[in-house]
Amino acid sequence: MIEKTTDRERLESLAAKLVASGARVGSPVLDGDRLFFRRLEAGDSIAWDADGSPAPRNSPKEMLFPATETILRWRQRGPDVEVAPAGKDADPATILGARPCDARGFLALDALFGWDDQDSFWQDRRAATTIVSIACEKPDEHCFCAAVGGAPDSSEGSDVLLIPIGGERYGVEVVTARGEAFVARHPEAFSDAAAGAVRREVGERARSELAPTPDAEAVRAWMRERFDDDVWDEIALACLACGACAAVCPTCHCFDIIDEHAAFDRGERRKNWDSCSFPLFTLHASGHNPRPSQGRRIRQRVFHKFIYFFDRFGRSLCTGCGRCGRACPAGIDMAGIVRRVGR
């Protein structure tokens, strides 16, 4: 239900006010002719679809799950080693301008990082973050959110959803208690309104422009019967194992832990993003690699997105955002793989 309205000018003023207060704000920003999601700095302007793409090239996941972060520090004094926990950057934060596929991605990571082990780095930041998403009006050939249970105007995972209603204006749907508190704290940015069927019309228009893609359940049924199909090796012939797909994905979460020396007697233990596309990802110290070919690594990536994660958490790990296809230098994308399976 749309309860408020706002516009770009008021949202930009709100973002500037939050940045000036020292709060962390992440939004799409134009860098040259490319749209990226990053932390706003004083003087930055938010880019609302500046390049016509449905989403920035990277994911707002980085606000809560950085590419690299220190998890502890150590210092050796003779035979003793002193260990100190690293500080956590868990101050209040706002993600402003995330896409619905990104917001749904946060729910998948919530399930993972709150599963058998409670990842306090993720959870502390998540508890301090308000997600203000914006419905999509311009899906492209890589988008397939509807095939994996999402929608261009889905509110799932958002605290506040902005619905474009023309003239740089937005209907505002308050989704969660956190979103309600956010709107109440900033009354200057929002006005009372009743917009009726605006959300439904925007969603239907955007859904009609999505390229046809088989439903994820049909894809899962095919995959469960064809683990050793030649299709994985065929797809892998183009793969460069560069990891670009994992770097821009809103739900990829694999990481490595490495100790790095700052001097001979001290250093840091760091958590760094990793990718199942890399040949070294599963390489054992013995020299054995259970996934020795790129075909097996491609298969693992696709099965993890559609089957393994689904079987454990009841949802696809893929949100259908299409970023992997836009980023891949070889033109491999998840939407293309899903359509190929469908055929």
- In the block, which residue shows the tokens 């690594």? 297
Domain ranges of the chain: 2-342
Taking residue 87's Cβ as centre, other Cβ atoms within 10 Å add up to 8
Average pLDDT of the chain? 90
- In the block, which residue shows the tokens 């679809």? 49
* φ, ψ (nearest 5 deg) of residue 277: -80, -15
Look up residue 59 and give its two tokens. Answer: 């994911």
Look up residue 49 and give its two tokens. Answer: 């679809």
309-340 pLDDT per residue, tens: 999 999 999 999 999 999 999 999 898 888 88
202-216 pLDDT per residue, tens: 777 888 888 788 888
| Distance separating the N- and C-terminal Cα atoms of the chain | 38
Of 3-7, 46-50, 99-103, 112-116, give the lowest mean pLDDT range: 46-50
Look up residue 37 and give its two tokens. Answer: 């999601």
- In the block, which residue shows the tokens 């999509």? 136
Mean pLDDT of all residues in 218-233: 92
Distance set, CA 336 to CA 56, 72, 112, 224, 342 (Å):
20, 41, 26, 19, 10
Mean pLDDT of all residues in 161-176: 91
Of 45-54, 168-177, 184-193, 322-331, give the lowest mean pLDDT range: 45-54
What confidence category does residue 194 fall into, taking pLDDT thresholds of 50, 70 and 90? low
Mean pLDDT of all residues in 236-259: 95
Q: Yes or no: say if 181 and 114 are a contact pair by the CB < 8 Å rule.
A: no
* Model pTM score: 0.91
How many Å apart are CA 163 and CA 7, to the nearest integer?
10
Distance set, CA 228 to CA 83, 213, 341 (Å):
46, 23, 14
Which pLDDT score, from 0 to 100, does residue 139 have? 87
Q: How is residue 49 annotated by DSSP?
A: S
What confidence category does residue 107 fall into, taking pLDDT thresholds of 50, 70 and 90? very high
262-292 pLDDT per residue, tens: 888 999 999 999 999 999 999 999 999 999 9
Of 3-17, 209-223, 271-285, 288-302, give the lowest mean pLDDT range: 209-223
Rg (CA), the chain: 21
- In the block, which residue shows the tokens 């502390």? 124
Taking residue 92's Cβ as centre, other Cβ atoms within 10 Å add up to 15
- In the block, which residue shows the tokens 């868990």? 90
